[in-house]
Amino acid sequence: MPGLQSASRKRPAVSQGGPKSKKQHSEKPSSTKLEEGKIQKRSRPVTQPIPVSGLSDEEEEEDEDNFEEEEAEDQEIVHDEMIVDGASSKDPNAARESHKVQRVLQEQRRAAKPHSQLLADAKLVWSLARQKSIPSAERQKHVKELMKVTQGKVKDIVLKHDASRIIQTIVKYGGQKERDQVAMELKGHYKALAQSKYSKFLVTKLIRLCPAHRASILLEFQSSVLRLLLHREASAVLADSFELYANAYERSILLRDFYGKEVALFSQTQGSEPEKANARKGFPGVLEGLEGERRKRVLAALKENLTTIFNNSDKGAITHAIVHRALLEYLSAVNDTEDESEREKLRKEIFESCQDVLAEMVHTKDGSRAVRDFIAYGTAKDRKQIIKVIKPHVERMCTDDEAQLVLFTALDVIDDTKLTAKSLVSDITTHAPTLINTPQGRRALFYLLVPRSRRHFTPAQIAIIAETDPIRAKTSKKSADVREGEIRAAASEGLLKFVADNGAEAARDTGGSLVVLEIMLYADGDKSSAMQSLLQPLASIYPSEDASKLHPIDLPHTSRMYKSLFQGGHFSHASKSVIRSSSFSPSAFASAFMSIVGKDSTVSMAAGEGAFIIAEFLHRIREEGSADEKRTVKDWFGEDVVERLKESETKGRNVLLDKINALLL
């Protein structure tokens, strides 16, 4: 196949996809439904900046609107000596003639290249097929015609930039028949295609859109997976295949090279039913029946291959999920080793080989679990090294579903809370104003105060976080309650300052109000400044004179926050009562409310949407207020106010009137 073995030009490793939405931990489906809708993206490492454009490298590379029909080598400039008859470059006529000469030479070069007429014919049809605003039936007509032009010649032209785009258009817009035909024509050449700067995108498209051919394509990479992972172009193809499109068996095809030549030599026939069944077991299935020296050789081969990846971290492969899966499989096998001294030795060796690049792994499910394993089993020195490596990336880790689990484990197991307070907790609280804007960021803040609370963490999330608890029981000395208390104390000052500075504005947001409430209820320390910050907006004119900015009481989530603060805790559906927090005084909050908000605003809110909140305020004054406070509030709700409330139709009127009557008794 002409030109397939030529070396592709190098460029920086393809970066990970843009900020990823919630990842699915289940195996990716092998259906063609993936062709519809938005293309999936690999999870982006926390060590890489988010692209300003919002596009992944692949999307930018495949932006057909910016496509140039000729390759760069077709645009070579003809040197000055080609100007006819030595004419002066300052003469406009001479320059015009020289340009004509250049165009003629360019046309001659194109014509002399293989398949030049085929490409010329294909481009005419392709320019019609790739249009964005044409009926589907018309597009299919052009695609079928394009398929006729290129049929039987796909493998000969696909390495060219423009020709690769033509074939990609067939795969993108064609039916399954056309896609399968292209996949069949390229059979046997996928390893070379994956290493090309242009055709690698075609390989990824075929892997995504041709599930029937996916296993056979991936089988062509066998025995070269490690080399391809370190290749600047092919690395992204393997990474996308493993993380986004492959099922358990197809992933095992790519992972098998990590296990060494002995496993590849003695494995069953690839594609057989026993092989597929065994693939679902992963590396444990490979180790089944292996004992003694043979098991040690397989583990040594896996460690050696992983070390090769770690030692070439500049190639970018260290960020890929396939490497993280292999590392986690190795650690799991090490944990199953019977000899304790051997187990510690193997774990220490692999940790030393990857300790400096652990931040590159925390963004995937397997990578996060592997780093958490290192933290849980590590010595005090190991844990200090891990904290040093991840510290520059704490903010990004807080907003990543998998990476934040590493932070949670560090907070759970490290006994040196001074270290975690200085290196992790302070960074989290400093970025509270931005973290409250995402569910992940809010979870990071909640974990400092109410770790594993069912109000903010699902049972599945709690179960994942608790995976390292059995290890913590063996490797950590402090009790969980003591450690949690020290972390909460370290975080309280920064979080209360956040509420004092930004709490009123943050509470206007649904998620922000939850964060502010938990800080007020469970943080340690003086909360007077934070209370004043939250109560000051309530003293404004009610209802708001600015229609674009409602009064806080008119925001349902914000009013619920104030109600919970007057109650002093959260309502428990199990006990049918409010569970008071020992770190917050609702009576002090009610007293501050009286002095800051005052009579006029209180009465106005009572007659509006704030009836329930004012009812809780009155209940708190009746239960815990001083005699002067009770007397003052009684004066606020005189007979004239009560009469107006009775005539109003505000929601919560009856509850409010009951609280007023109880206070007057």
Tokens found for residue 575: 């006990």
- Evaluate if residue 25 carries a pLDDT over 70: no
Is the pLDDT reported for residue 549 higher than 80? yes
Does 188 lie in the same domain as 119? yes
User: Within this chain, do residues 615 and 641 fall inside the same structural domain, yes or no?
Assistant: yes
Estimate to the nearest angstrom the gap between the alpha carbon of 110 and the chain centroid.
45
Q: Is 374 exposed, middle or buried (0-12, 13-18, 19+ CB in 10 A)?
A: buried
Give a three-class secondary structure readout of 583-627.
Answer: CCCHHHHHHHHHHHHHHHHHHHHHCCCCHHHHHHHHHHHHHHCCH
Residues 80 and 210 in one domain: no
pLDDT at residue 380 tops 90: yes
Question: Do 657 and 561 sit in the same domain of this protein?
Answer: yes
pLDDT of residue 50: 76
Query: Does 375 fall in a domain?
Result: no
Could you say which of 200, 220, 240 is where a domain stops? Answer: 220
The pLDDT-based confidence of 133 (bands split at 50, 70, 90) is confident
Residue-level pLDDT at 33: 44
Span 289-325, pLDDT tens digits: 778 888 999 999 999 999 999 999 999 999 999 999 9
Give residue 155's domain range.
113-220
Could you tell me the pLDDT band of residue 449, with boundaries at 50, 70 and 90? Answer: very high
Domain boundary among 56, 85, 112: 112
| CA 122-126-131 angle, 5° bins | 170
Q: Which of 185, 220, 255 is the last residue of a domain?
A: 220
Question: Which of 360 and 89 is assigned the larger pLDDT?
Answer: 360
| Between 1 and 521, the higher pLDDT residue | 521
Tens-place pLDDT, residues 551-572: 999 999 999 999 999 999 999 9
Same domain, 555 and 659: yes
Say whether both 82 and 169 belong to one domain: no
Would you state the pLDDT for residue 615? 95
Please report the pLDDT score of residue 41 as a whole number.
Answer: 87
User: 302: part of which helix (H) or strand (E)?
Assistant: helix 292-311
pLDDT score at 591: 96
Q: At what angle do helices 403-413 and 439-449 cross, to 10 degrees?
A: 0
Q: Is the pLDDT of residue 81 over 50?
A: no
Backbone angles phi, psi at 199, to 5 degrees: -75, -10
CA neighbor of 257 nearest in space, from 292, 289, 219, 215: 219
- Of the listed ranges 29-43, 172-186, 373-387, 523-537, the one predicted with least confidence: 29-43
The pLDDT confidence band at residue 153, using thresholds 50, 70 and 90, is confident
Examine residue 621 and state whether it is found in any structural domain, yes or no.
Answer: yes
Please write the tens of the pLDDT for every residue from 191-216: 999 999 989 999 999 999 999 999 99
- Same domain for 101 and 136, yes or no, is no
Question: Which of residues 98 and 661 earns the better pLDDT score?
Answer: 661
Measured distance CA(66)–CA(347) in Å, rounded: 50
Alpha helices, H only, 431-547: 432-435, 439-449, 459-465, 469-475, 480-506, 510-522, 528-535
User: Where residue 76 falls among pLDDT bands split at 50, 70, 90?
Assistant: very low
Going by pLDDT thresholds of 50, 70 and 90, the confidence category of residue 461 is: very high
Q: Report yes or no on 424 lying in a domain.
A: no
What's residue 17's pLDDT?
36
For the chain, the domain total comes to: 3
CA gap 166, 143 in Å, rounded: 10
pTM of the model: 0.85
Residue 504's pLDDT is 95
Same domain, 139 and 206: yes
Distance between CA atoms of 355 and 353, rounded to whole angstroms? 6
* Cβ contacts of 72 within 8 Å, gap of 6 or more: none
Q: Are residues 137 and 117 in the same domain?
A: yes
Q: How do residues 213-270 score in pLDDT, each as one tens digit?
A: 999 999 999 999 999 999 999 999 999 999 999 999 999 999 999 999 888 776 654 5
pLDDT band at 18 (very low <50, low <70, confident <90, very high): very low
CA 343 → CA 332, 348, 378, distances in Å? 11, 9, 13
Q: What is the token pair recorded at 129?
A: 């097929």
Alpha helices per DSSP H over 66-196: 92-112, 116-129, 136-150, 154-157, 161-173, 176-185, 190-194
What average pLDDT does range 639-659 have in this prediction?
90
Q: Has residue 492 got a pLDDT over 50?
A: yes
| One domain, residues 91 and 177 | no
The alpha carbon of residue 349 and the mean position of all alpha carbons in its chain are separated, in whole angstroms, by 30
What local confidence, expressed as pLDDT, does residue 75 receive? 40
**Terminal-residue alpha carbon distance, the chain:** 97
pLDDT of 393 strictly over 60: yes
Taking CB atoms within 8 Å and a gap of at least 24, the contacts of 443-446 are 443/404, 444/398, 444/399, 444/404, 444/407, 445/495, 445/515, 445/518, 445/519, 446/515, 446/518
Q: Is the pLDDT of residue 19 over 70?
A: no
Query: Which pLDDT score is estimated for 280?
Result: 66
Asked if pLDDT for residue 396 goes beyond 90, the answer is: yes
Residue 38 has what pLDDT?
A: 61
Q: Pull the structure tokens for residue 480.
A: 């969980």
Which pLDDT score is estimated for 157? 83
Does 439 have pLDDT greater than 80?
Answer: yes
Query: Which of 113-122, 350-359, 412-421, 428-437 has the lowest average pLDDT?
Result: 113-122
Instruction: Give the contacts of 39 (CB within 8 A, at least 6 positions apart).
Output: 59, 208
- Give Cα separations from 651 to 462, 508, 609, 613, 659 (angstroms): 38, 21, 7, 11, 15
Distance between CA atoms of 45 and 359, rounded to whole angstroms?
8
Q: Give start and end residues of each alpha helix (H) in 220-291.
A: 225-229, 234-240, 248-255, 261-266, 273-279, 283-287
Report if residue 482 sits inside a domain.
Answer: no
Report if residue 49 sits inside a domain. no
The count of residues in the chain is 665
The answer to whether residues 658 and 560 belong to one domain is yes
The reply to whether 335 falls in a domain is no
437 falls within a domain: no
Q: What is the pLDDT of residue 110?
A: 56
pLDDT of residue 44: 92
Residue 554, in any domain of the structure: yes
Mean pLDDT of all residues in 636-650: 89
86 shares a domain with 212: no
The span from the CA of 627 to the CA of 623, in Å, is: 11
Residue 261 has a pLDDT of: 86
Q: Is the pLDDT of residue 68 over 70?
A: no
CA distance 229 to 207: 17
